[in-house]
């Protein structure tokens, strides 16, 4: 049992490292070749775990081979549009200028009911509201609604909003994010003064963030009352 446990932990670490090296895509955004590699890696890792008589290298070496294959395909895809089209395919337009493209629906084997379901997943209840629907190579469907059905934005009213930037975490679960403090040109003493306005120290905070306008949000971690 100890051997199986140790092999499981070791292979888990190997697979985790390999998946991190493959990139940060979500499962639903994997390209076909990435999805196939992920399935094969899972199978190769499971075999040595289930059978302790199989050398663990029988799982590790093929997994590293698949990682190498993934990296090669990714590089080739970045360098060649034609290679990318062969490996990953091309997006398909399912709705073009408000009209459902039946030919592409049949080609992608998607029924009208499935199309409606995917539209609802994008918070579009009526197919009549859609100007374009594009099936991406990852399998996701992106929607462009008709102009009169889209939500309004400041530009529609000639308004130029102030630049907001991105928020930075300054404290997460009582841990000071020193790198983020450096990015905004601040130090610990500045952080301490800001958090003390809320009645406690940075080391007692559950979270402290600052947005692009300099506004600070802070919440104290429960159980730090003295």
* Rounded alpha-carbon distances, angstroms, from residue 165 to 152, 160, 211: 21, 15, 7
Architecture label for domain 168-220 = 2-Layer Sandwich (3.30)
Helices (H), 109-209: 112-121, 178-183, 188-196
Q: How far is the C-alpha of 135 from the C-alpha of 114, rounded, in Å?
A: 12
Sequence-separated (6 or more) residues with CB below 8 Å from residue 147: 131
Q: Is there a common fold for 92-149 and 168-220?
A: yes
What ranges do the domains of the chain cover? 2-86, 92-149, 168-220
In what order do the strands lie in the sheet containing 99-100? 99-100, 92-96, 130-135, 141-145
Residue 135, classified by CB atoms within 10 Å of its CB into exposed (0-12), middle (13-18) or buried (19+), is: buried
pLDDT in tens, the chain (226 residues): 677 778 788 888 888 788 777 665 555 566 777 778 888 888 888 888 777 778 888 888 888 888 888 888 888 888 887 887 777 778 899 999 999 999 999 999 999 999 999 999 988 988 999 999 999 887 889 999 998 887 777 877 888 877 777 889 999 999 999 999 999 999 999 999 999 999 999 999 999 999 888 899 999 998 765 5
Q: How far is the C-alpha of 174 from the C-alpha of 167, rounded, in Å?
A: 18
Q: How far is the C-alpha of 168 from the C-alpha of 135, rounded, in Å?
A: 34
CB atoms within 10 A of CB 7: 19
pTM for this predicted structure: 0.61
Beta strands in the chain (DSSP E): 92-96, 99-100, 130-135, 141-145, 168-172, 175-176, 205-210, 216-220
Q: How far is the C-alpha of 182 from the C-alpha of 179, rounded, in Å?
A: 5
Q: How far is the C-alpha of 47 from the C-alpha of 105, rounded, in Å?
A: 39
For residue 25, the model assigns a pLDDT of: 58
> What CATH superfamily classification does 92-149 receive?
bsu07140 like domains (3.30.240.20)
Provide the phi-psi class of 97: left if phi over 0, else alpha when psi is between -120 and 50, else beta: left
């Amino acid at each position: 049992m100890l051997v199986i446990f140790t092999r499981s932990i070791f292979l888990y670490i190997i697979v985790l490292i390999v998946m991190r090296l493959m990139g940060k895509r979500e499962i639903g955004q994997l390209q076909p070749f990435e999805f196939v590699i992920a399935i094969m890696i899972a199978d190769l890792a499971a075999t040595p775990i289930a059978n302790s008589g199989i050398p663990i290298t029988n799982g590790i070496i093929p997994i590293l081979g698949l990682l190498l294959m993934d990296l090669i395909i990714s590089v080739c895809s970045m360098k060649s549009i034609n290679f990318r089209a062969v490996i990953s395919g091309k997006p398909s337009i399912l709705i073009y200028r408000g009209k459902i493209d039946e030919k592409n629906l049949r080609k992608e084997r998607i029924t009208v009911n499935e199309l409606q379901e995917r539209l609802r997943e994008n918070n579009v209840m009526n197919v009549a509201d859609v100007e374009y629907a594009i099936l991406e190579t990852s399998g996701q469907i992106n929607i462009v609604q008709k102009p009169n059905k889209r939500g309004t934005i400041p530009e529609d009213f000639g308004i130029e909003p102030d630049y907001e930037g991105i928020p930075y975490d300054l404290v997460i679960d009582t841990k000071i994010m020193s790198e983020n403090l450096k990015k905004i040109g601040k130090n610990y003493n500045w952080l301490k003064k800001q958090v003390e306005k809320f009645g406690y120290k940075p080391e007692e905070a559950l979270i402290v963030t600052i947005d692009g306008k300099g506004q600070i949000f802070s919440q104290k971690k429960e159980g730090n009352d003295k």
